[in-house]
Structure 1
């Protein structure tokens, strides 16, 4: 009887060990990525390429850069896609929780002011953009356009693009009017409204809207954009350094080092950080 009980105990322990090992392996092979709507399309392509030779489940959600950082801080995601630097309150929250956020630079993106193709205005100055989003210029006639009120479109508070825009042009306290969630929603709104102005990532530009030249610098001359465009920002991946192991670490290295991924990054409308910082 004792031998039988002992044998059953060994079997039970072995079964539990196998069960927990399998769960750990399953968890190890699952990556949750959250954050920027700007980076999301690119990251979906990277995930598809990574999953082909790797048995890894990757889920991607895009509530916005700020929403993604909040998810990392509450432990509900593994990797953040961010089109914004960490904000001071995020840094404080991470410190209070004992989280050390590690950043990886993907490259550089340009934020482009856009209008409807029917709008006469094609060029705008940096100072005029500040005046529009600060509420000092309110009519297109002040910019050489028709006599019509300007509808300045904003992004919501979870948007990294909005965080950068507010830092450069006007604080959030100046936000009035319509606030939209994503690059795609801004595109759709501007395409339907001749009096609206908005801002999107360069990677989302299409033929249904008109990108404005800023101080004479337009998208037709990318070499000049690299040197002169005043609205550019870095793109990051953030992780909790304490959890930078296993599949998360492997995926980050793959994203940064794979030659095909680098090609996909540039084809997505982004730019190598080397170009902007003079490394090549």
Structure 2
């Protein structure tokens, strides 16, 4: 089944004037911090880098709060820094510089036993905003739709809201995952009525571990 994806910009934000030190604290996005940045850190050390890394991936928003508080030297974010975050950091004597390091993708994901195989952009927006509440409204088996999303500290949470929902609020009944996107496969593995969004890379790996994970349904205009 072909996957149609939406791209989302990833960035790293660095504090200015890092002093030489033995440990660099890295805070922020799970999209970057779950696997990619730890791999980079390990490779850096193998090449003779003289520092170690303390990495905590708890959502993009935590990158900027930690940078401003002086509890991180490097911030990971799956979105651009907001004006108020940049301004607040300046009040603390921290000047942020963003570096684009990668692109990720976002896909709609359903339980493998769900008969729905494609959705329009309008249907996707309706599902995640709560305007569409039952699978029968999009050609599926009658039953309430269980929407799962990341928590509000996630940069991708806002990206999806902008890209797929035209900035509208998530459905009041939408359930939040834990801080890490790695909890997504477990959330979808049991309820057949579940739907969420996630990185296709994560879902491809999850499908090998769980027979209940389906490839993202194609997107129709």
Is the alpha carbon distance of 1:90 and 1:171 closer, same or farther for their aligned partners in structure 2, counting shifts above 3 Å?
farther
Name 1:178's counterpart in structure 2.
175
Q: CA RMSD in A?
A: 1.9
Whether 2:86 is the aligned partner of 1:91: answer yes
Name 2:31's counterpart in structure 1.
38
Whether 2:72 is the aligned partner of 1:77: answer yes
Please state how far the C-alpha of 1:84 moved relative to its aligned partner: 1.3
Q: Which of residues 212, 215, 220 in structure 1 aligns to 2:217?
A: 212
**Aligned with 1:112: secondary structure?**
strand
Distance 1:97 1:55 in 2: 28
Please state how far the C-alpha of 1:213 moved relative to its aligned partner: 1.5
Please state how far the C-alpha of 1:98 moved relative to its aligned partner: 4.1
Structure in which a larger fraction of residues adopt helix = 1
What TM-score does the superposition give when structure 1 sets the normalisation length?
0.64
Name 1:189's counterpart in structure 2.
187
Q: Which of residues 7, 16, 21 in structure 2 aligns to 1:28?
A: 21
Distance 2:96 2:200 in 1: 27
Runs of 5+ consecutive residues of structure 1 not aligned to the other structure:
1-25, 217-280
Structure 1, residues 41-63: CA drift from partner, whole Å, max 9, x if none?
01111111111212211111111
Distance 1:91 1:126 in 2: 33
Distance 1:50 1:147 in 2: 52
Is the alpha carbon distance of 1:89 and 1:166 closer, same or farther for their aligned partners in structure 2, counting shifts above 3 Å?
farther
Distance 1:33 1:129 in 2: 34
Structure 1, residues 220-263: CA drift from partner, whole Å, max 9, x if none?
xxxxxxxxxxxxxxxxxxxxxxxxxxxxxxxxxxxxxxxxxxxx
The alignment of Structure 1 onto Structure 2 pairs a total of residues equal to: 191
Distance 1:141 1:107 in 2: 38
Please state how far the C-alpha of 1:140 moved relative to its aligned partner: 0.5
Q: Which of residues 149, 156, 165 in structure 2 aligns to 1:154?
A: 149
Distance 1:71 1:204 in 2: 27
Name 1:251's counterpart in structure 2.
none
Is the alpha carbon distance of 1:173 and 1:142 closer, same or farther for their aligned partners in structure 2, counting shifts above 3 Å?
closer
**Aligned with 1:164: secondary structure?**
helix
Please state how far the C-alpha of 1:72 moved relative to its aligned partner: 1.0
Whether 2:100 is the aligned partner of 1:111: answer no
Whether 2:130 is the aligned partner of 1:125: answer no
Q: Does the 8 Å contact 1:154/1:175 carry over to 2?
A: no
Distance 1:173 1:143 in 2: 18
**Aligned with 1:153: secondary structure?**
strand
Q: Does the 8 Å contact 1:124/1:214 carry over to 2?
A: yes
Please state how far the C-alpha of 1:130 moved relative to its aligned partner: 0.9
The higher radius of gyration belongs to 1
What TM-score does the superposition give when structure 2 sets the normalisation length?
0.79
